[in-house]
Amino acid sequence: MSATAAHTSSTFGWPVEPARLVLWLAALTLCVFCFTHHRVGHNVASRYWTVQRLVDDGTMEHPDAWSIDTVRIDGRYYSSKPPNYSLILAGEAWVVKTLTGMPVGEHERFYLTYLVFVSQVVPYCLMLWLGARFVAELTEERWERAYAMAALSFACLPFGYAVTLNNHTPTAIFLFVVLVLVVRARERMRRGIAFTIGCLCGLAFTFELTAGAFAAAFMALVAYRDRRMIGWALCGALLPIVPTLATYYVISGKPLPFYAQKELYDYAGSYWNSPKSLDALNEPKLVYGFQALFGLRGLFSLTPIGILALVGMIREVRNRGLMAGEMLAIGGASLTVIAYIISTTNNYGGAAMGMRWFAQFGPLWAIAAIPVAGDMLRNNRGRLLALFLLALSCDIVVESLIRSAFKNGGWVLGLTKVLG
């Protein structure tokens, strides 16, 4: 990847930079679907109920175990979701309730729209704005920049998830901002930047446990480049981690995530005692691994632009390019997450669009794909292939926006239905 590149002037009759058009179209798309869709399923309800109970009743306890994402502790029910995002959302909802007097439980549609807009749509739009500036520093080719922005938005799974309340989209945003900070501070890491990197890594880890692999990789990169800064980064990381572990301890008596306390899911009436549909599958690991990567919900079948990212990471590391360290961190962490998911579960993420645990590295892979996509865009055959892979990747994301992030879909599933 090239160093900082100057913006090129508009040519070929385009009055506006194509990448900027993609940015505004993506932002408009998120806003439209945010304000026109109202989605509360099992996945969303578990987190939303925690917000509602906190704001209206002052407790995180759920009245029953309707949602499958529920644990029971001392006879009381709680959401199994990481609690810190729910606490942040509850703070945002409390402000509105204090100003308007509107109970969260009686105005579900309003609060869901408000929370999704403030906590996911606006942050993702800001990430795209930052991404546009970052991409402009990596390449001076206007169509490469436009392709990269499309990859960061319409071909990126957390973009499709952004209008449905979830923890995967914020995690992806945190990790992307960390990447930008690490790259820009390559020559000189300051204490404030190191602290911010650590804080964002800590947030990503507490929002989604497997993001700890990326947090560790980026923190290691900070330490490698300037050992004096690792202390500041660790202090930043502890800022969100300590309160989260304290919350787990207060509720369950152990400073461990609920996911690590399997006994909490074992109670009369628990969905996980007799899971259904895809959750009930017990496939051999080779079969599950293939399906997770290339099957109906496969990472590379639903978002084949990831192939360009893999090639880009390998090439950058092998050639010891300017971003070799970052690509090694992203590649290593991605491989760790994929291997962990395949080795520890046979779960496909319920009814989620695609393998939702892989959504966190979508924006990082979009950046990794830039140099390979750039080479392909320089000739007719390569351009057609690059656009074809982009279009296939857009299908699952757009479907997530239209239907819901937590409904089965994707072009592969659609093709199997057509073929019978």
Express each pLDDT in 316-336 by its tens digit: 999 999 999 999 999 999 999
Comparing 161 with 93, the larger pLDDT belongs to: 93
Q: What pLDDT, on a 0 to 100 scale, did the predictor assign at position 295? A: 83
In this prediction, residues 9-30 reach a mean pLDDT of 75
**Tokens encoding 150:** 């499309």
Q: What pLDDT, on a 0 to 100 scale, did the predictor assign at position 188? A: 86
In this prediction, residues 98-111 reach a mean pLDDT of 92
Express each pLDDT in 242-298 by its tens digit: 999 999 999 999 999 998 898 998 888 888 887 777 777 788 899 989 988 998 778
pLDDT band at 397 (very low <50, low <70, confident <90, very high): confident
Q: What pLDDT, on a 0 to 100 scale, did the predictor assign at position 41? A: 67
In this prediction, residues 212-219 reach a mean pLDDT of 97
Q: What percent of the chain has pLDDT over 90?
A: 63
In this prediction, residues 338-363 reach a mean pLDDT of 84
Question: Nearest-CA neighbor of 392 among 302, 288, 329?
Answer: 302
Contacts of 59 (CB under 8 A, 6+ apart): 53
Q: What pLDDT, on a 0 to 100 scale, did the predictor assign at position 5? A: 43
Sequence spans of domains, the chain: 18-266+277-419
Runs of H (alpha helix) within 319-379? 324-344, 362-368, 370-376
Q: What pLDDT, on a 0 to 100 scale, did the predictor assign at position 403? A: 67
Q: What pLDDT, on a 0 to 100 scale, did the predictor assign at position 2? A: 47
Positive or negative torsion for Cα 86, 211, 130, 403: negative
Amino acid at 406: F
Express each pLDDT in 183-213 by its tens digit: 999 888 999 999 999 999 999 999 999 999 9
pLDDT of residue 151 exceeding 70, the answer is yes
pLDDT of residue 50 exceeding 60, the answer is yes
Q: What pLDDT, on a 0 to 100 scale, did the predictor assign at position 418? A: 36
Residue 121 near residue 162 (C-beta atoms within 8 A):
yes
Q: What pLDDT, on a 0 to 100 scale, did the predictor assign at position 91? A: 96
Using alpha carbons only, give the angle 286, 292, 296 rounded to the nearest 5 degrees. 115
pLDDT band at 124 (very low <50, low <70, confident <90, very high): very high
Q: What pLDDT, on a 0 to 100 scale, did the predictor assign at position 39? A: 62
pLDDT of residue 66 exceeding 70, the answer is yes
Q: What pLDDT, on a 0 to 100 scale, did the predictor assign at position 371? A: 94
Mean pLDDT of the chain: 87
Residue 203 near residue 240 (C-beta atoms within 8 A):
yes
Alpha-carbon span 371 to 139, nearest angstrom: 8
